[in-house]
Amino acid sequence: MHQFRRGSYAKVKSTYSERLKTNVAIKIINRKRAPPDCFEKFLPRELDILASLNHRNIVYMIMELGVQGDLLEFIKFRGALPEDFTRKLFKQLSLAIKFTHALDVVYRDLKCENLLLDQDFNLKVADFGFARRIKYDEDGQMILSKTFCGSGVPYNPKVYDVWSMGVILFPMMTPISRRC
């Protein structure tokens, strides 16, 4: 197995799947480094959400390997991206987020590091660890999450995802900025 990415308490390795006849990514979580509620709260929620999302621009739990790396590394290496390529990637991101929002799933952690590029440079949204389903009360009013993500201002969480998309678009098109 080849290590592909590393996070604060998990790493992603690539390996060849005999059954699928392709390279896949395996997420390995370090129990000692993971927060206490990772296995009781966040991982089960991530698995539940990913199991319900079947979209070409969203990775699966037996994950597609983003062989071209994440968008942040790609931008750092390439600088500003051509407009037509940026348009293609942003459209794919928009379709993926539109799909999740239609199912009342909010991502809540959109950033370049969580956007992977496959062998054909198609964008894939990965790492649904902070994602959650929107819940409604008996009157149909949205119940705001008690989990702290973002500024804490009581807005529809879909707004944060859309705002984050704009934040991602800026370094894709700006030669000066190399950060997302």
CATH of residue 164? 1.10.510.10
Answer yes or no: 127 catalytic. Answer: no
Q: Provide the pLDDT confidence category of residue 153 given band limits of 50, 70 and 90.
A: low
- pTM, entire model: 0.70
At CB < 8 A and 24+ separation, what contacts does 36-45 make?
Answer: 38/9, 42/129, 42/130, 43/129, 45/131, 45/132
96 belongs to a structural domain: yes
Residues 6+ apart with CB under 8 A from 89: 71, 81, 115, 121, 123, 172
pLDDT tens-place string over residues 55-89: 887 666 666 677 888 999 899 999 999 999 999 99
- DSSP summary character for residue 38: I
In the chain, how many domains are there? 1
Q: Are the beta carbons of 109 and 129 closer than 8 angstroms? A: yes
Which residues span the domain enclosing 62? Answer: 2-173
180 belongs to a structural domain: no
Across 141-165, average pLDDT: 75
**Catalytic residue among 48, 84, 104, 109, which?**
109
